[in-house]
Amino acid sequence: MVPLDTTTGMPGSEDCADALFGPTAMLLIGFSEAETAAVAFWLDSALGAAEHVDLVTATAATLAGTLADALQGDSGALDPSQPHPPPPRTVILSGMYSAEVVEVIAAWRADLAETGTVPEPVWAAAVPNNWGRIVSDLVEAIAADDAAMRAAKAGGGEQREVF
């Protein structure tokens, strides 16, 4: 994964520059140290994106702060504690075009999830609507949305009577 060409008129070009939001980063929430190391290795070896994408790991302090704080490096980096129990594995992508988000998720599923190296997380993107939210609240909402979507897909979604 390399920065997209800004001269082609395609996503990533100057006419689409406003599509990006936040710093280019991947926030890992609920990952063990070993899983985080595997993701860091994968980010470099499979995507070649380690120098373009900041890998941010959530701590207890991160979960208590806003998404903006977490992605801008103001999440209590001196606090190495992890919350217990850990929150659901969640990855929040920031500063990427839609095509890049799709590329990252597809590569993850092809490499990490398929091999069992790192379980499939719940995915989200940093957007203006969630930028100021508390990370723990955001993770809870993302997990609830994911559970509802999976239930609906499995046919267990909310049933409505038609009169």
Tens-place pLDDT, residues 60-86: 888 999 999 999 875 444 455 566 567
Q: Is the dihedral of CA 72, 75, 80, 83 positive or negative?
A: negative
pLDDT of residue 23: 94
Q: Is the dihedral of CA 50, 51, 57, 62 positive or negative?
A: negative
Domain holding 87, by residue range, is: 14-153
Residue 66, in any domain of the structure: yes
Residue 2, in any domain of the structure: no
* Euclidean distance between CA atoms 110 and 108, whole angstroms: 5
Out of 3-17, 46-60, 70-84, 97-111, which region has the weakest mean confidence (pLDDT)? 3-17
> pTM to 2 decimals?
0.78
